[in-house]
């Protein structure tokens, strides 16, 4: 990722250096910054990002158009806030451990979660079938931590092989296992042992035996090349530190014509510095 940061900075400097118009330069900077926002999980890009922050603040002081001044200042302040919140003092290992601890706690004691919605009510609010959720034991749904309903994007077919990346306590895996039937299978992967243990118990209690459970990271999937028909994931990619590596892994394991059904969250450009500071922790 350090190499990416160096390439990105070189490209930005080349683009900005040949464009004397400050309005156009700001457009370049906005584009570059938005790209960096998508990689807030990287410890090594702060050096490159610092140059953008400084230039944004310079433009905000020298350009007289109020909208551009306001936008440049807001972007610069937001970047600085994020740097303070998630600076390089957090190593990749610390970030990963923070995520594991957060979701292990949700597996053990879901009612203690106060920041985001979990459980059956959240699942129903996100579009899961109410009758289907209500028919499941409480242990199956109480630790649900998804942000959407990837299964609603397209129906699964009997006999398909489904990869559930970040299976959590197993709700999506169990529903997928039912849909693909005994001729199909689900490969469920999670990095949190407490969640995976709970998912195994939940599936066993329901008599579902067509699910393989794997404790693994998204960057190194224990799945053979070209063996998956459908990949589902629910609120996981935003937590992954090397998103390009994860996407590469997903491409590797999907069959030709296979598909990705993804529910996740994004950092929108209208998010303020205050929102980033309040909601910007890794496990949130």
The CATH number of whichever domain residue 213 belongs to comes to 3.40.50.150
Q: Are residues 97 and 209 in the same domain?
A: yes
Average pLDDT of the chain is 78
Question: pLDDT value at position 260?
Answer: 96
Give the closest residue to 265 by CA, choosing from 40, 90, 1: 40
Question: pLDDT value at position 236?
Answer: 93
Q: Are residues 21 and 126 in the same domain?
A: no
Work out the burial of residue 268: count CB atoms within 10 Å of its CB; fewer than 13 is exposed, 13-18 middle, 19 or more buried: exposed
- Residue 159 pLDDT exceeds 70: yes
Range scoring the smallest mean pLDDT among 112-116, 178-182, 247-251: 112-116
- Residue 60 pLDDT exceeds 80: no
Domain around 52: 2-85
Average pLDDT (238-264) is: 92
Average pLDDT (14-32) is: 56
Question: pLDDT value at position 241?
Answer: 82
Domain-terminating residue out of 27, 56, 85: 85
- Residue 253 pLDDT exceeds 50: yes
Q: Are residues 54 and 106 in the same domain?
A: no
Angle subtended at Cα 238 by Cα 243 and Cα 201, rounded to the nearest 5 degrees: 105
- Residue 122 pLDDT exceeds 90: yes
């Amino acid at each position: 990722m350090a190499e990416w940061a160096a390439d990105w900075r070189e490209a930005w400097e080349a683009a900005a250096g040949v464009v004397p118009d400050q309005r156009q330069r700001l457009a370049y900077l906005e584009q570059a910054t938005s790209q960096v926002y998508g990689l807030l999980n990287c410890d090594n890009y702060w050096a490159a990002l610092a140059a953008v922050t400084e230039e944004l603040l310079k433009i905000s002081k020298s350009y007289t158009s109020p909208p551009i001044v306001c936008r440049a200042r807001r972007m610069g302040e937001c970047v600085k806030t994020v740097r303070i919140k998630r600076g390089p003092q957090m190593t990749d290992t610390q970030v990963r451990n923070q995520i594991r601890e957060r979701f292990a706690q949700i597996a053990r004691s879901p009612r203690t979660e106060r920041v985001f919605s979990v459980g059956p009510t959240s699942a129903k609010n996100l579009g899961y079938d109410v009758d289907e959720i209500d028919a499941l034991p409480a242990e199956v749904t109480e630790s649900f931590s998804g942000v959407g309903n990837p299964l609603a994007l397209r129906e699964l077919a009997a006999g398909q092989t489904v990869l559930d990346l970040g299976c959590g306590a197993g709700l999506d895996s169990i529903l997928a296992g039912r849909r693909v039937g005994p001729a199909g299978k689900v490969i469920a992967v999670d990095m949190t042992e407490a969640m995976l243990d709970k998912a195994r118990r939940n599936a066993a209690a329901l008599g579902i035996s067509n699910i393989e459970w794997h404790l693994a990271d998204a960057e190194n999937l224990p799945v053979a090349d070209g063996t998956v028909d459908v990949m589902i994931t629910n609120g996981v990619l935003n937590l992954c530190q090397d998103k390009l590596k994860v996407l590469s892994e997903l491409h590797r394991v999907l069959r030709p014509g296979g598909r990705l059904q993804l529910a996740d969250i994004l950092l929108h450009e209208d998010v303020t510095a205050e929102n980033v500071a309040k909601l910007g922790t890794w496990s949130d």
